[in-house]
């Protein structure tokens, strides 16, 4: 049986730091800080609940990040 790969470490970064930023600036900053996947979602979007290491999610309202979370 093949060994289970060890997931890469997430950036040492707080999602709260992105709240209030313009969505495009927040996405650019997140990628610079090492997040492999950044996704912007509208308020109330239906999403799956699987956790993805290295992914940062933004809820965007009026072009600004209203909420940010890992996974």
Q: So where are the chain's domains?
A: 13-68
pLDDT for res 48: 86
For 13-68, CATH gives 3.30.10.10
Q: Distance between CA atoms of 22 and 33, rounded to whole angstroms?
A: 16
- In the sheet where 37-41 sits, what is the strand order? 37-41, 55-61, 64-70
pLDDT for res 3: 80
pTM score of the predicted model: 0.84
Mean pLDDT across the chain: 93
């Amino acid at each position: 049986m093949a060994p289970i790969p060890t997931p890469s470490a997430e950036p040492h970064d707080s999602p709260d730091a992105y709240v209030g930023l313009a969505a495009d600036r927040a996405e650019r900053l997140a990628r610079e800080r090492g997040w492999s996947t950044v996704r912007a979602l509208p308020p109330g979007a239906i999403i799956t609940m699987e956790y993805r290491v290295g992914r940062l999610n933004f809820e965007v309202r009026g072009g600004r990040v209203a909420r940010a979370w890992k996974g």
